[in-house]
Structure 1
Amino acid sequence: MKTKRALFSTTVLAATAAAATLSLSARPAAACGTEAYIGQICIMAGSYCPYNTAEPTGQLLQIREYQALYSLIGCTYGGDCRDTMGVPDMRGRAPIGYGTGPGLTPRAWSGKYGQEYVTQTIAMMAPHTHTATFKPSGNGGGGTAAEVKVSTDPGDTNSPAGGKYLSAASSSGVKIYNSGTNASALTPLSGVSGGGGGGSSGGTVTVNPTGGLPNGTAAPIPTVPPSIAMRYCIVLDGLYPPRP
């Protein structure tokens, strides 16, 4: 009976130990805990980063002090690869997945992209039209006055060539008018004078706005979405991440 109890106790202890071992081996690495993977970056809501982590602000670290981290990221984020290495600068930035997503712009590993503001240029604007009005300035008028002088003396020639004036008919049967349908028979007439119009020496063009302000202020347009600033922490000392 004692032998059976001893065997049962040994079996229970062995099973318990095996279960504990399985539980430990299957436990995922914590983001910023004591069992976090080296090189992991986590977010903290507190005022400091936990032990064995540091804020990634682009600072340089000594390679001899963080050889495991150096073997993972090298000098991707700065450093001379002899004595120093850099960590990412996460201040004011949000991480994105590197590579080329469907229909998206390719993103290189460790590349920095985006800007907080953008100033719109003419090339960025969509094609559009505006109505406009022109107000002339100067001495221009709507027309030019002309004066035609005639002679009250009787006519002394039967040809209008040479710039002759219209004159009084010598008798009631004399015809001095014509329809002028024969263009080749037309000739300049003396006694015609007119004042030249001054025309428009300038003017003002007014473009009517279609909405908003009539003139832009060239102020940069913000492109930052709603966000909340928190603290990033990078694991400097922890578990070495196994390759899959």
Structure 2
Amino acid sequence: MDAYLGEIRAFPYNFAPRYWLECMGQTLQVSQYPALYSIIGTKFGGSSTTYNLPDLRHKVIAQWGQGAGLSGYSFGQSLGANSVNLLPPQLPPHTHEWRAVRKVADSSIPSSGYLANIEDTIEFKTFTAAGTNLAPLHPATIGITGAGQAHENRQPALAMGFYICVDGGEYPMRP
């Protein structure tokens, strides 16, 4: 199979062909594959005697650089997150329904945080049993939504193995 040393390919099987290793971020000794080290160095981690292969488990590949109107990425930069907690600024605009009665609070209309009409006007305020002080709405008035749990943040994908040619390939000549 013709390949360049350091070339990464996706294969439709679950084993590494001869002269290839799976891209799982594993640490290799420089002395084990010195030609591959001369090409990728410690770009994906390592030290003076070791280097790491790229870790492409649970990742999609993005082109480094910057296209017109797009974010710029450095070569070897890891991007994204497996899950995200949404905050109020990221929620879509929406409303919550609530209802009130147009009557003065009395024994038939609880005055423990529900909205009630002040005398015969159209102004609504909340009342507590202690009097006319403003108080928070009763929890049943507008329900709480959400539990603050993270959601998966992944585009549809097909799981395959990514493998890097570590030996037996042609050494790529730099231009």
Higher relative contact order structure (alpha carbons within 8 Å, sequence separation ≥ 6): 2
Give secondary structure in 1 for the equivalent of 2:81.
Answer: coil
For the Cα contact (< 8 Å) 2:14–2:160, is it kept in 1?
A: no
In 2, Cα distance between equivalents of 1:53 and 1:75 = 19
Shift of 1:113: 0.6
> Which range moves more in the overlay, 61-70 or 229-238?
61-70
In 1, Cα distance between equivalents of 2:42 and 2:11 = 25
In 2, Cα distance between equivalents of 1:98 and 1:41 = 15
1:55 correspondence with 2:25: no
In 2, Cα distance between equivalents of 1:234 and 1:42 = 7
Match of 2:3 in 1: 36
Match of 1:83 in 2: 49
Give secondary structure in 1 for the equivalent of 2:162.
Answer: strand
Render the CA deviation track for 1:208-232: whole Å, top value 9, x for unaligned: x7xxxx6223232222122111111
1:125 correspondence with 2:80: no
Structure 2: which amino acid aligns with 1:84? Answer: T
In 2, Cα distance between equivalents of 1:235 and 1:141 = 76
Give secondary structure in 1 for the equivalent of 2:157.
Answer: coil
In 2, Cα distance between equivalents of 1:78 and 1:99 = 20
Aligned match of 2:131 in 193, 199, 204?
Answer: 199
In 1, Cα distance between equivalents of 2:34 and 2:131 = 85
Render the CA deviation track for 1:96-142: whole Å, top value 9, x for unaligned: 1001122211111111111122111112124444343466339x997
Match of 1:28 in 2: none
In 2, Cα distance between equivalents of 1:87 and 1:141 = 70
More helix by share: 1
- What's the C-alpha RMSD, in Å, of the aligned pairs? 2.7
In 2, Cα distance between equivalents of 1:242 and 1:50 = 24
Give secondary structure in 1 for the equivalent of 2:111.
Answer: strand
Match of 1:73 in 2: 40
1:219 correspondence with 2:153: no
1:105 correspondence with 2:71: yes
Shift of 1:203: 6.6
Give secondary structure in 1 for the equivalent of 2:77.
Answer: coil
Give secondary structure in 2 for the equivalent of 1:136.
Answer: coil
Structure 2: which amino acid aligns with 1:71? Answer: S
Structure 1: which amino acid aligns with 2:149? Answer: A
1:243 correspondence with 2:170: no
In 2, Cα distance between equivalents of 1:203 and 1:61 = 62
Gaps of 5+ in 1: 1-32, 144-197
Render the CA deviation track for 1:150-202: whole Å, top value 9, x for unaligned: xxxxxxxxxxxxxxxxxxxxxxxxxxxxxxxxxxxxxxxxxxxxxxxx63465
For the Cα contact (< 8 Å) 2:46–2:52, is it kept in 1?
A: yes
Q: State percent identity of aligned pairs.
A: 32
Structure 2: which amino acid aligns with 1:223? Answer: N
